[in-house]
Chains A and B, each alone.
Chain A
Amino acid sequence: MNCLFSKLPLQLVLLMLLAFNTHQAFSTTLYLNKDCAAAGLTQNCYQTIDEVQVKLWGKVTDFGLPFGDKLVIQPETINPNANNPVTVLIGEGTFSGQFSCSVMLGDENLGYVSFIGQGRDNTVLTHPYMVFHSAGCGNLMFQDLTMLNVGAAGTLAATTYFWGWGIGDTTWNNVKLESINGIPWYEVSNFVSSGTNCKTAPLPAYVLNAPRQNHYFFNSTIIGAKTPYIGACGQTWMYSSEIIMKTNPATGLVSGFDDILPIVLVYREGDVRLFGTSVRVDVSAGVPPELRSVVGVHVGGAEFDGVFHMHGGDIDIDTSSIAGLNAVGIENITTDAGSIAHTLNTPIFVKSAAGANSTRLKGVGKIFSPQLWSPDVEPPEHNVNTGNFASLNGQDMFVETDCGNSSCSNGGNKPHLMVYSDACNAETGQPWFNNVTGECRQ
C-alpha cells in the first residue's frame, strides 16, 4: 500500500487516511485526548479533565468538601446513571485536573462511568489536591491508568482517591494509585462527623438504604507515603495486587496519629479482603523523624469495628534500616466480636533494628493468624542485630532442630515443635513452649 500511496496525490492520500482513522463519537463514549484532531476524534473529545468533568457531572466550584464538592451543572452535563452509562476513553499522556462525582442528588443510581486508559505507564491523571472525589455516586470502573497525587502532605489534600458517602461499587483493573505525600485510597463512606459508625443517621435515606458498596481490585498498585489503604464501611476484594507504604521524610506529621503509620487501616465496619497480594513498607528514602512504628494492618479504632482477611501473599514490615523504628505485622485494638483479623496462610515478616521491637501480632482484638516459621536452631528473629520479637499466645510455631530428649540447644539432633507462649515468657524469659518435652524452652 505504501508504494501505491506514494504515487497518489497528497490530498487523496490524506482523504483516505482520514477515512480509515476517523472515529465518530458515540453518545455515551467520551474521549480525553491530548490531541483530538491527530487521533481523528471529531466529537465528544476533550483535551482537559476539566472539560470531561463538566460533561460528566458539572463544573466544580469548591473541591474537597467533606459532604461533597460544590458542583454546578452545565447545559452539556450528562449526570450518568444506570440507564445512561458513560465510558471515558483516555489517551496517552499526563492529564492534570480533578474529577468529582460528588453530586449528592439523592439518587443511588448515579455514577456508572468507566475510565479506561492506555496503560498505567502511559495514561496518568494527576493533581496536587485529591485527584478523584466520589460521594453520592458509584459504580465506577477504572482500567489501565495511573492516578497520582503530588500535593503537599495533608490528610485530604494529599489523597489520590477519596470515597465518601459511597453508594454502588467500584472496580479497578491494572491501575496505579499513588500519593507522594499522603494517602492514595481513602474510603470514609459514612463520614458525617467523627465518631460515627457505618451508615448511621444523619446520613440521608438514600445512602442509609443503599446496599453495602464493594470495591474490586485486580492487578493494581496502591502506593503512598501515609497509610496507602483506608477501608471504612465498604467491603474490599483485592486480588494479585500490592499495597506499599513508601515513606517520605519530607511529609512530617500532619496529625497526632502519624507517629504510628499503618499500611492498611480498617475501621468503622470496614471490611478488607486481600488475596495473592503483598503489603509492605519501603523505608529506603528515609522516614519522617517523628515516626515510631510501622504497622502492616491496623484493625479497629477506639469504638469502631474492622474486618480484615488476607490469604496468600505476604505482609513484610522491615524497618531494620532505621534505628528505633518498630515493626508491627497486625494490630487489632477492638474487642468487639465483629472485629477480626483472619490471615490463615499469609506469612507475616517483621524485622526492626536492634533496640526496637519486631511484633508480629499485637492487640486485644481477635486475631486468627497462626504461622509456622522456618526450622532452625534458634527461634524466629533471634539475632543480636534485630529488635525484640513478640507475638500473641499460641499463634507462632517453629521446629527447633538441635534437641535431645529433655531440651534443645544442648547438642541434640532431634526436631521439637515450639509454640509461642506468654506464660513461658513470664516464667523463663523465653516465649516458647516445647510440645515434645512439655516444658518451656530454656
Chain B
Amino acid sequence: MGKINLNYSITKALLLLVCMVTAQLSLAETLYLYKDCNDAPTGTQCYSTVAEIQNKLWGVIGFYPLLVTPTENVTINPGASNRVVVVIGPGEFTGQLSCSAYDGTNQGYVSFRGHGAGTSTLTYGAGYFSSTVTSSACGNLSFEDLSITNTGSGHYASPAFLWGQAIGNNSWMNVTLASENSIAWQEDSNYSGGIHDDCRSVVTSVESSHRIFSSRLMGAKAVVVSGCGEVGIYGSDLVLTTNPGSGIYIASEASQSVTAAYNDGVLNIYGSTLRADLSSGVPAGLSSVTGIYLGAIFGRGEVHMHGGIVNVVTASQSGIDSIGVNASDENSIAHTLSTPFIVRSNANAQSARLKGVGEVMSAQQWQAGTQAPEEGGAFGTFSSLDGQDMYVETDCNASGCSAGGADANKPHLMVYSEACGNEASSPWFDTVTKQCRQ
C-alpha cells in the first residue's frame, strides 16, 4: 500500500511537472524584455538585454550585413508556425536586433510590444552598418507602442530601421522611429552590395507591404525611403530634422528629402504630415530639401498622398532650394490631389512646388489674394509645373489685375503657365482676361 501511495505521489508529481512544463511551453512564444525581470510575470521567459532577446529569437549577429548565427538549444528561429511576441517594459534598451538569416525561410513573425512610444525604447548607435533593427530575408514583423532610435554618427550612420532583401510584411502602430544622423525608416529590398538592381531581382518574392499607423518618424538625411516595397502611412508625422553634425559624405546627400521612392517603391500616405525642420542648422554643402523624391538613376518610384500636408520651408537657411515633389524619373508617378504643398526658400534659392519629368498629378488651389503665391516676400523664386497651380487674384478688373483703380475689385482665377513664364513677367494665366498676368 505504501508503495502504491509512493507511486501515486510520483505520478502526481510527474503530472504536476508535465502540467507546469506544458504551461511553460504554452507561454514559450512570449518573451519579456524588462530592465528588472522581477517586473515580468513570474515563470515567463524574461531577459534584461537586447542581446539576450536577439540570441533567443535569431542568434548572434555577425558583421555586415548583420547575418545571424543561431545558438544551439537557445535560438527559437520564429516562423509562420512558431510566432513570437516580445513584451518590452519601460526603459531604454541598447542593442541591435537582426533577423537576417538568409536561409530561404521567413524567420520573422515576431511582434514587439512596448509600453508606449517614449516609454519603451530600443536604441543603438555604434559601429559600421549599425541600424538598430534590421530585417533582411525575413518579415511579418509587428511593432507597437515603442520607440526605436539610432544615435550613430559618421559616414555610416544608420537608419533606426532597415529593411533589406526582405520578404513578408510588417506593421507599425504608435511607434517613434528616429535616427539622429541618418534615415528613420529605410527599405532597400533588393540591395545587392552597392548596385541598385530592379525590384526583386535579388530576392524573388511577392512585394513587401508595410503599414505605419499613428507614428512619429524623424531622420536627419531622410525619413522614409521606399525601394521595391509598398508602404502605407496613416495619420503619422514624418519630419526631416536636419543635423549639422550629420555631414555630407557622398554627392547625393547634398539633396535630402523627407520621403523617397525608387526601384518600384510605392508610398501611399494619408492624413499625414511631411515636413522639414531646419531649426538645428544644416550640414555644410546641403543644397536642397525635397518633400517627395521619386526615381532617379535607381528607377521609378510612385507616391499617392491625400490629406495631410507637405511643408518644406528652408527660408531660415541661405541657398537651400525648397522642393515639394521631384519626379526625376519619367516613369515615376506622383498623385497628390487634395494635399497642400508649402515651399518657401531664402531669397537666393528656389521654391519649386513641383519639378521633374515624371507623371505629376498634384493640382493645388492656393489662397486668394492680391499677389501670386510666394510673391512679394523676401523668398526664393516660385515655380511649379504647367497647369498644376491656381489661385484667385482679388484686385482685378476687365483688363487685368494689380493695376489699381476703383473697379479693380473683381476676383479672377489664375492658372500657372510655363508659356506665360516665357512670354511675360509672371507665370500666371488670367482665365477671365485670357491674357498672361503682367
Contact = CB atoms under 8 A, between A and B. Distances in A.
A218 to B, nearest CB: 4
A175 B89 CA distance: 21
B412 to A, nearest CB: 7
B119 A141 contact: yes
Given A7-B15, A19-B42, A311-B339, 10 more contacts: A26-B38, A26-B90, A143-B174, A216-B237, A218-B174, A345-B339, A370-B366, A394-B394, A397-B413, A438-B398
B172 interface: no
Interface in A162-217: 171, 173, 216
A370 B368 contact: yes
Nearest to A437: B432
Q: By CB atoms of chain A within 10 A, which of B23, B34, B36, B368 has the most?
A: B368
Interface stretch (A62-70, A288-296, A407-415, A420-428): A420-428
B307 A345 contact: yes
A12 interface: yes
A394 B338 contact: no
A22 B42 CA distance: 6
B155 interface: no
Given A29-B89, A345-B339, A240 B43 contact: no
A2 to B, nearest CB: 10
B309 A24 contact: no
A1 B50 CA distance: 33
Given A24-B42, A26-B36, A26-B38, A87 B392 contact: no
Interface string A72-84: 0000000000000
Interface string B21-63: 0110000000000111011111100000000000000000000
Identify whether the interface residues of A are mostly helix, strand, loop, or mixed: mixed
B338 A312 contact: yes
A344 B392 contact: no
Q: How large is the interface on A (under 10, 10 to 19, 20 to 34, 35 or more residues)?
A: 35 or more
B392 A419 contact: yes
B369 interface: yes
B307 A312 contact: yes
Contacts of A372: 365
A12 B9 CA distance: 13
5 contacts: A20-B23, A26-B36, A116-B119, A239-B214, A435-B432
Interface in B213-251: 214, 216, 234-237
A29 to B, nearest CB: 6
Interface in B372-404: 391-394, 398
B273 interface: yes
A344 B271 contact: no
B410 A433 contact: yes
B338 A87 contact: no
A417 B39 contact: no
Interface string A339-377: 000101100000000000000000000011110100000
A24 to B, nearest CB: 4
Contact of B392 (A139, A276, A394): A394
Interface in B78-134: 89-91, 115-119
Contacts of A368: 366-367
Contacts of A24: 38-39, 42
Nearest to B306: A312
A27 interface: yes
Nearest to A311: B309
B304 to A, nearest CB: 14
A12 B394 CA distance: 84
Nearest to A343: B340
B394 A4 contact: no
A415 to B, nearest CB: 13
A309 interface: yes
B339 A393 contact: no
A85 B90 contact: yes
B329 interface: no
A23 interface: yes
Interface of A: 1, 4-5, 7-8, 12, 16, 19-29, 85, 87, 89, 114, 116, 139, 141, 143, 171, 173, 216, 218-219, 237, 239-240, 273, 275-276, 309, 311-313, 342, 344-345, 367-370, 372, 392-395, 397, 417, 419-424, 433, 435, 438, 440
A435 B431 contact: yes
Contacts of A392: 368
Contacts of B22: 1
B145 interface: yes
Contacts of B118: 114, 139, 141, 171
A419 B411 CA distance: 7
Contacts of B433: 438
A239 to B, nearest CB: 4
B19 interface: yes
A311 B367 CA distance: 13
A20 B307 contact: no
A399 to B, nearest CB: 11
Nearest to A370: B365
Contact of A394 (B12, B15, B91, B368): B368
B41 A20 contact: yes
A159 B301 CA distance: 48
Nearest to B413: A435
A370 B41 contact: no
Contacts of B416: none
Given A26-B38, A240-B235, A419-B413, A87 B367 contact: no
Contacts of B309: 275, 309, 311, 344
A433 B398 CA distance: 12
A85 B120 CA distance: 11
A115 to B, nearest CB: 9
B312 to A, nearest CB: 14
B225 to A, nearest CB: 22
A365 to B, nearest CB: 13
A370 B15 contact: no
A191 to B, nearest CB: 26
B235 A23 contact: no
B357 interface: no
B16 interface: yes
B23 A240 contact: no
Contacts of B23: 1, 16, 20
Q: By CB atoms of chain B within 10 A, which of A23, A370, A417, A422 has the most?
A: A370
B43 A19 contact: yes
Nearest to B394: A394
A61 to B, nearest CB: 30
A408 to B, nearest CB: 16
B308 interface: yes
B150 interface: no
A370 B369 CA distance: 11
B115 A275 contact: no
B392 to A, nearest CB: 4
B19 A345 contact: no
A219 B117 CA distance: 14
A239 B238 CA distance: 12
A239 B42 contact: no
Nearest to B391: A370
Nearest to B42: A22
B136 interface: no
A309 B364 CA distance: 16
Given A239-B237, A276-B308, A312-B271, A29 B214 contact: no
B119 A87 contact: yes
B238 to A, nearest CB: 11
